[in-house]
Structure 1
Amino acid sequence: MKNQFSFILILVFVLFTIYSCKNESTSIPDSEIINTSQEHPKLILTAQGVKDIRAQLGKIPIFDNTLAKVKEEIDAEIEAGIEVPIPKDYSGGYTHVRHKRNWVVLQQAGLLYQILDDEKYAKYVKNMLMQYEALYKTLPLHPKTRSYARGKLFWQCLNDSNWLVYVSQAYDCIYNYLSKEERNKLETNLFRPFADHISIDSPQFYQRVHNHSTWGNAAVGMIGLVMDDQELIDRALYGIKDLKLDAKAKDDDGGFLNKDGKAGFLANIEEPFSPDGYYNEGPYYQRYAMYPFLIFAEGLHNVKPELKIFEYKEGVLLKSINALLNLSDADGDFFPLNDGQKGMSYYNSALVTAVDISYHYGNQDPGLLSIAKEQNQVLLDDSGLAVALGIKNGKEEPFNKKSINLSDGPKGTQGGIAILRNQDIELVFKYAAQGSSHGHYDKLSYSLYERGEEVIQDYGLARFVNIEQKGGGNYLKENKTWAKQTIAHNTVTQNETSHFNAKYEVGSQHHSVLNYFSSENKNVQVASAKESNAYPGTEMLRTMAVINDEDFEKPYLIDIMKVTSDSPNQYDYPFYYFGQVLQTNFEYQTKETLKALGSKNGYQHLYLEASAKANSDNSKFSWFNNNKFYTLTTITNSNDEFLFARIGANDPEFNLRRDPALILRTKNSKDKTFVSVIESHGSYSPVSESAINSNSSIKDLEVVLDTEAYTAVHITNINGSTKLFITANKNASTETSHSVKINDKNYEWSGSYYFN
């Protein structure tokens, strides 16, 4: 009895001690005792974020409006019922679109469950996931065989990865709603096999540095974070170890697959992004890739904060958002560099994600709030709440796009993109590297904009994205035969042959080199770059300046393309303008029968509509578009001719736009310096039927010096005022002093150029 009493006393003492320790532990902040690897939701929307959002509901207009819209859409989906069809279509087909819609619905329903605490949304997500579990374990490879890496739900692994990136977020949101047995069923029969097919079964897709594999990495990693599966997380971050690839394997875009061991999410940050945040495939694919980059990074930040993912490579992911926003025109449309569909803008959902995450995890730039306000929606998560509160509190400021030079390449040493902005004029000058398999053969090309409207266009891609009637919504053959070819761009084509002979493996080894970039003077902004490898034995140096001159109504473009070669060549120098021809100072002869300008390298897609011989030192071409007048003044000689061309030859399925071009052709020349000025001037009112300032202000354009070291151009306007622009063709650093004699007059300056 005595021993039993002693035992009871000891037990009471132990329980009291435990209770005391427990009471003492309540003084420790929750953030220090929570095991974040077990808490859900934790991936994008967090448990603390749910509490904060619920506390603010009804008081944050942009968030409340977004929530109401999403709720209306998802309620309608729930009312319509679940549909998980057997896959059979390409992009744009019914089953493809339905599964694509399902991934969005699942993600949004999961968010609604957490924010509104309404079980119907969790039940809906659970039921649909169970239908996918039942379907997926029966699926072979997708029946469409075009892709280099077929998925199971979709015709390509890329779309399977899209699905898992979104659905992992839905699973995270209902994780605690499900029983242990239900989670085990989904993970065993759906999520792990899904992740394995994307990665282990499809190394040609996964083991790469490419926007496709970024989606794959994020998909595998995000479901790994939700399931707390370290093996999947490591596979996502570092790729598949000890994997051998077929040395001859190619992707469906013609680019070679990665053979140097660089793979995984970190490699996909390290390789494509320059230190300035430029993504080598161009803004269209940067926009597409930013969602998996940022959403997986946010998940890593929340679940694996020790990785410090937003600090990786000196914070390049957050830098890249600023770069991407600057790669858009005045309307927010991204410049169609490389493969890029026109009209894609920062109103796209991926950019809502980018802006919100950048604001929340970056330095809370108030300029981002003004873009978020224009987007008129936010993410329904922690970062969206931060943006909504910032807007509510009136913190937004205009996002000011300025002239910017963005380097290309992992170390910023592989050329770049220069954007010159002067009032309403924007010049996009491309002197970048190849741009991976989505790159075009267009060294030193440019496009010109006024108030968001194309003046001199870049064609972009040849594809009707997700329109099934046009090639299943995929790339058309004309993307290779036309859109990628050099003649499709505003740069020099030599001997009707594309740069690098349009060979990816050659072009990917080279890049153009910056001569100088200068934007300090708001009235004179200049970019200059050199290309020495596009054609063996030929060097091209292009200098482009956007100048605001008091003698002209608007800023104008000076374009100097200096070509030097070891042998005589034919050079074609096109201008892909928009609108209607108004006037020329040379006589041209129209063709009664339309024929292709050539037989290959893009020339087979150009109709020759008219031709002319240059008959003066200054040739002028004026056109009319969007109720504005434009004039090209270019220096010519008797060996030059003009070709009026139109896209669309040898295009029986009408896959190409019928856009016009004017081509300046020089034959049998070793060295040629093309010098042009493009003016925007005047306006026309169809209401009053009045034209204002419809004529060019340039009286004369003259090259007064052209040596290896310098090129100097006189511009004389109709009032007799003359300005001189001198560019340093080498030794163009800001510290270098220059002295040049022109017509017995000395000009001295320090820096890259002279203008007065």
Structure 2
Amino acid sequence: MIFKKNLLVILTFLCYCSIAHGQKRDTYFFSREDIQNIKEAAQTSWGKTIIDSLKAQINVRMRHSLVVPKEEAGHLHDYFCPVHNVFFEFDWNKPTEHYCSFCDKTWSSDRINWAWIAIAQNKNLQFLTDCMYVYLSTSEKKYAELIRKMLLDYSDKYPNYKVHDKGRNKVVPENYSAKIYAQSLDEASWFSDACRAYSVVKPLLKKNEINKIETNLLREGVNLLLQRGGGGNWQVWNNSGLAAIGVALNDNSIVNIAIENSKVGYQHMMKTHVNKDGWWNEGSPNYHFFPLRAMLLTADAVRSMGYNLFDEQLEKMFTAPIKGIYSDMTFPSHNDGWYGVSLPTQIKLYEVAYARYKNPLFLNILQACYKIEDRLSPEALLTNTTVDLNEELKEPESYLFGQTGYGVLRSKNKTVVLKYGSSGGGHGHPDKLSISVHNGKSEILPDLGTCAYGIPDYLNWYKRTLSHNTVVVDFKDQSPTTGQIIYFEPTSIEAFTDKAYPGVNMTRKLHFTDNSLFDEFMCTSDSIHNYDYMLLLTEEPKIEEPFVNASLDEDISYRQIKNVRKSTLNKNFTVSTSTEKITFHIDNTSLFEVFTGKAPGIPPTNPDIITKTGTEKRPVAPCYPVIIRIIDRNMRIQANWEFF
């Protein structure tokens, strides 16, 4: 805290010095070349489609009041039905009534109502961005006028917003509180984009309007963000917000802190939080692309301030995910984050990446993604490039992400992933030696990711060891730890951990060829333990063995499994679905138990990304646990998979 206070004093002094002495550099978010590309691309058939789509979105927004909310916002993750885990249906005219179509019920509470405000603020930010791109493309001043009015409205209200958290508590600055939103993370993200819109229309504003926006909004924002930050993705977004404000104010002292501060600046975060293999160190596709956008916006913003951050390491953050995709261009949903993150959902980032790097691989990704999705991202205008959809994406090969800690085995269009790496920090899951299987069409043995953080299932199920395809010892979650790779080949992988559970050594090896997978899981200990080997299938399995009704009540995570059935066996057995058959061989035990049931499975996808199939609106899909329980010192289970 002392560091932050000193930093604020120093920055305030530097800001006044820079104003007193004047600054000659012309700053921008869009260079002359960028603007020329945008205008030219807007004249193409695909560019006109983008502009027409943006105008349609603007017109829809203008059917409702453009007045900025006067109250502080809550947290987006509270805007979900607590029963079905689905996003409520947002209605501009009903800030206190929130409908779930699966309940056929309207919900209301303080937290839900405050979350409604957060969504309204997000929609306003999207409105500003849409107007910005249409104005840049067409020079139609009515769109600049819409930006002007809304930013002036924010300038009236921002000084009066109270610093608050998700519960509307008036908390001290050391916490991650904010003013527009409940989190400084969201506030920084807002400034990262809003400053771009302001910079584009600034030449059209009167002097008193410029002074009002810069004094009441931007410099107030600087004062808040300098007292915030922290670590991980929070800090890179904090840097992005500061960099954007610094560029908008033409204030190099702010930008220098965002980029060069030795403890929290962009360059420090790149060195300490991006793994050598290119992944962000929180170990999640969602929490890779989320901070990547912040770093991309920062690099783009500070070009006019003399920085070139488009280096090899930032480029590697774009190339690494391409090596980790399934054949449908989705990712295993490791750790926290929305299920269903894919290259198509992140396509606007790759549009900007191609515009800056001109890497042919990124163009190939655009070509592959636009076979699935329509090209409607306004960032595409920056490339000014027509995408040839006849080009095929080269199939990725088996790959080991050694520092992030997972291996990808491929056989034709099928993929098996073994996760053994670091814990992932606060967004990590206790799931060492877990696997996921994709059969070329979908995950049949999924990593579930997480539901919204405000839903009880988040902590009771999705963030627990039991909800992963690994082994639970003595009904407890694994301890945060990092496993070790033993060997990796294009068809085989073996990994090990002896820190997930005290006194237990765990090893898993996979061999994957053609239409078969061999999976061996071993646990050894000097003491007797309860070993629960878990597989979570997306289709209800058939097991030709006698079962009786049972219950699982050992822990709250076990209680999420319903319709429990149990069979006691002492021989090999087979589990089958319409897409695979799994034959289990259990060593060195006379009797073991097999449990089946039904549990929360794949949750809805990111509500901010509208998909053609509506996955962001569907309820939670069920999954079907198969648990093999062994009580002994050691456990050795071999599973032979055959894919149909």
Contact 1:341 1:461 in 2 (8 A): yes
Paired amino acid for 1:290: L
**Seq. identity, %:** 22
Task: Measure the CA separation in 1 of the matches of 2:148 and 2:230.
Answer: 32
CA change 1:128–1:448 in 2 (3 A) is: same
Task: Measure the CA separation in 2 of the matches of 1:427 and 1:443.
Answer: 15
| SS of residue paired to 1:165 | helix
Deviations 1:198-247 (A, max 9, x none): 232xx3xx032x222222210111121122212221232245xxxxxxxx
Q: Are residue 373 (structure 1) and residue 373 (structure 2) matched? A: no
Deviation at 1:368, TM superposition (A): 2.3
CA change 1:610–1:137 in 2 (3 A) is: same
1:48 equivalent among 14, 33, 42 = 33
Which runs of structure 2 are paired with 1:589-608 in the superposition (5 Å)? 589-591=547-549, 595-600=551-556, 602-607=557-562
Contact 2:483 2:497 in 1 (8 A): yes
| SS of residue paired to 2:338 | coil
Task: Determine the structure 2 residue equivalent to 1:87.
Answer: 71
Deviations 1:34-80 (A, max 9, x none): x997446x21x32222224334542x333332122112322443565
Contact 2:129 2:197 in 1 (8 A): yes
Contact 2:600 2:622 in 1 (8 A): yes
Which runs of structure 2 are paired with 1:289-368 in the superposition (5 Å)? 289-300=291-302, 302-305=303-306, 307-311=307-311, 315-348=312-345, 350-358=346-354, 360-365=356-361, 366-368=363-365
Task: Determine the structure 2 residue equivalent to 1:151.
Answer: 178
Q: Are residue 391 (structure 1) and residue 397 (structure 2) matched? A: no
Contact 2:493 2:511 in 1 (8 A): yes
TM-score by length of 1: 0.69
Paired amino acid for 1:623: T
Q: Are residue 475 (structure 1) and residue 441 (structure 2) matched? A: no
Deviation at 1:606, TM superposition (A): 3.0
Task: Measure the CA separation in 2 of the matches of 1:317 and 1:94.
Answer: 35
- Unmatched segments (≥5 aa) in structure 2: 1-21, 80-114, 170-174, 602-618
Contact 1:545 1:557 in 2 (8 A): yes
Q: Are residue 407 (structure 1) and residue 367 (structure 2) matched? A: no
Deviation at 1:97, TM superposition (A): 1.6
Task: Determine the structure 2 residue equivalent to 1:108.
Answer: 130
| SS of residue paired to 1:83 | coil
Task: Measure the CA separation in 1 of the matches of 2:559 and 2:246.
Answer: 50
CA change 1:39–1:368 in 2 (3 A) is: farther
CA change 1:432–1:75 in 2 (3 A) is: same
1:448 equivalent among 437, 441, 454 = 437
Deviations 1:513-545 (A, max 9, x none): 1112111xxxxx112111121122222121112
1:580 equivalent among 530, 540, 544 = 540
Q: Are residue 614 (structure 1) and residue 569 (structure 2) matched? A: yes
1:231 equivalent among 243, 247, 253 = 253
Paired amino acid for 2:147: V
The more displaced of 436-445 and 475-484 is: 475-484
Paired amino acid for 2:178: G
Task: Measure the CA separation in 2 of the matches of 1:304 and 1:646.
Answer: 56
Task: Determine the structure 2 residue equivalent to 1:288.
Answer: 290
CA change 1:37–1:575 in 2 (3 A) is: farther
Q: Are residue 630 (structure 1) and residue 596 (structure 2) matched? A: no
Deviations 1:406-464 (A, max 9, x none): 133xxxxxx5111112123111211110112010001111111112312112232132x
TM-score by length of 2: 0.80
CA change 1:619–1:285 in 2 (3 A) is: same
Task: Measure the CA separation in 2 of the matches of 1:81 and 1:155.
Answer: 23
Contact 2:26 2:250 in 1 (8 A): no
Q: Are residue 122 (structure 1) and residue 74 (structure 2) matched? A: no
Paired amino acid for 1:402: E
CA change 1:37–1:57 in 2 (3 A) is: farther
CA change 1:577–1:327 in 2 (3 A) is: same
Deviation at 1:193, TM superposition (A): 0.6
Deviations 1:69-108 (A, max 9, x none): 1123224435655221123453244322221111111122
Contact 1:74 1:108 in 2 (8 A): yes
Task: Measure the CA separation in 2 of the matches of 1:207 and 1:371.
Answer: 37
Task: Determine the structure 1 residue equivalent to 2:474.
Answer: 495
Task: Measure the CA separation in 2 of the matches of 1:397 and 1:390.
Answer: 16
Task: Measure the CA separation in 2 of the matches of 1:37 and 1:270.
Answer: 32
Task: Determine the structure 2 residue equivalent to 1:543.
Answer: 509
Deviations 1:485-528 (A, max 9, x none): 2122111111222211xxxxxx2xx3111112111xxxxx1121
Paired amino acid for 1:72: A
Paired amino acid for 1:634: H
Task: Determine the structure 2 residue equivalent to 1:70.
Answer: 54
Task: Measure the CA separation in 2 of the matches of 1:105 and 1:99.
Answer: 10
Paired amino acid for 1:562: M
CA change 1:238–1:378 in 2 (3 A) is: farther
Contact 1:644 1:663 in 2 (8 A): yes
CA change 1:216–1:613 in 2 (3 A) is: same
Task: Measure the CA separation in 2 of the matches of 1:37 and 1:603.
Answer: 64
RCO comparison, higher one (Cα < 8 Å, 6+) = 2
Task: Measure the CA separation in 1 of the matches of 2:256 and 2:377.
Answer: 28
Task: Determine the structure 1 residue equivalent to 2:14.
Answer: none
| SS of residue paired to 1:620 | strand
CA change 1:364–1:354 in 2 (3 A) is: same
| SS of residue paired to 1:544 | strand
Paired amino acid for 1:482: W
Q: Bigger radius of gyration, 1 or 2? A: 1
Q: Are residue 662 (structure 1) and residue 626 (structure 2) matched? A: yes
Which structure: greater strand fraction?
Answer: 1
